[in-house]
């Protein structure tokens, strides 16, 4: 299923301290900077996640820009590593009376305090490229999602024909820790992880606006081993 790795992982290593420091700096200006560009991805993720029959966990909820996009009948929990980001999410829940948001917690996405199989859906909008160990985060998402449930991811995935590939490489080598995310992120990180798990199946992979910069991935936790064909690589952009 996964492509050959086209990119080496030369990124200066991020650690949780870099991430917390970066998001303490981003928090006051985050909504001004990132509302519009990430909006189609948040909408696609919230729409896919809202189909879950049971509680939804939003991992890396940030300032909660996606929270109003979940359907009102849902039951959404949010976690984030950054207190300044979470404070803003809590203010949003209060201000916009988002009754479907039932809890916000400070937690590390790679070590969450939820029991196994607690959620019908676990989603992570624009987070996988931010955590120092994406495979460890995927393992943790898989632990807390129920068999039959889905992991829904939206994040930037590097492509050979990506107009921003050169910029990604430069940012990766020079400023990733200060940015608080990894600009260069090969699909193989997700694809290889799925290949190594008998209980995980990619059910959808689609490019999103703007310009196909972001990818939505839906990964199902199977009750038993794999029995479904992997979807084809995305060919069309979706402008959600």
Convert residues 80-119 into a mask of x (bound to ligand SAM by CB under 6 A) and - (unbound).
xxx--x----------------------xxx---------
Beta strands in the chain (DSSP E): 56-59, 76-80, 101-106, 119-125, 145-156, 200-208, 214-221, 237-238
Query: 116 and 186 in contact (C-beta within 8 Å)?
Result: no
The residues, ordered by sequence, that sit 6+ positions from 188 with a Cβ below 8 Å of its Cβ are 2, 3, 4, 5, 6
> Closer to ligand SAM at the Cβ: 31 or 192?
31
Q: Is position 11 an interface residue for ligand SAM (rule: CB under 6 A)?
A: no
Establish if 219 lies at the interface with ligand SAM (CB under 6 A). Answer: no
Interface characters, 168-187, with ligand SAM (x: CB under 6 A): --------------------
Q: Quick check: 121 binds ligand SAM (CB under 6 A)? A: no
Nearer to ligand SAM, 93 or 201 (CB): 93
Name the β-bridge partners of 119.
Answer: 145
Between strands 237-238 and 200-208, the pairing is: parallel
**Residue 150 interacts with ligand SAM (CB under 6 A): yes or no:** no
Q: Which residue has the tokens 């199902």?
A: 220
Residues interacting with ligand SAM, by CB under 6 A? 16, 19, 23, 34, 38, 42, 60-62, 65-66, 79-82, 85, 108-110, 125-127, 130-131
């Amino acid at each position: 299923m996964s492509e050959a790795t086209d990119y080496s992982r030369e990124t200066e290593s991020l650690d949780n301290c870099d991430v917390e420091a970066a998001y303490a700096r981003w928090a006051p200006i985050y909504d001004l900077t990132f509302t519009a560009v990430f909006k189609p991805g948040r909408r696609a993720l919230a729409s896919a996640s809202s189909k879950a029959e049971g509680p939804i966990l939003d991992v890396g909820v940030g300032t909660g820009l996606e929270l109003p996009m979940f359907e009102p009948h849902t039951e959404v929990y949010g976690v984030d590593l950054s207190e300044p980001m979470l404070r803003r999410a809590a203010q949003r829940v209060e201000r916009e009376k988002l009754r479907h948001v039932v809890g916000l917690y400070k937690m590390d996405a790679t070590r969450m305090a939820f029991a196994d199989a607690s959620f019908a859906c676990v989603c992570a909008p624009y987070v996988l490229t931010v955590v120092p160990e994406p495979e460890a985060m995927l393992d943790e998402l898989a632990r807390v999602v129920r068999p039959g449930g889905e992991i829904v991811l939206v994040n930037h995935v590097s492509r050979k024909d990506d107009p921003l590939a050169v910029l990604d490489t430069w940012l990766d080598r020079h400023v990733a820790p200060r940015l608080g995310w990894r600009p260069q992120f090969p699909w193989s990180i997700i694809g290889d992880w799925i290949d190594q798990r008998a209980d995980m199946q990619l059910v959808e992979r689609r490019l999103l606006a703007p310009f196909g910069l972001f990818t939505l991935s839906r990964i199902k936790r199977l009750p038993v081993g794999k029995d479904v064909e992997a979807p084809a690589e995305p060919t069309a952009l979706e402008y959600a």
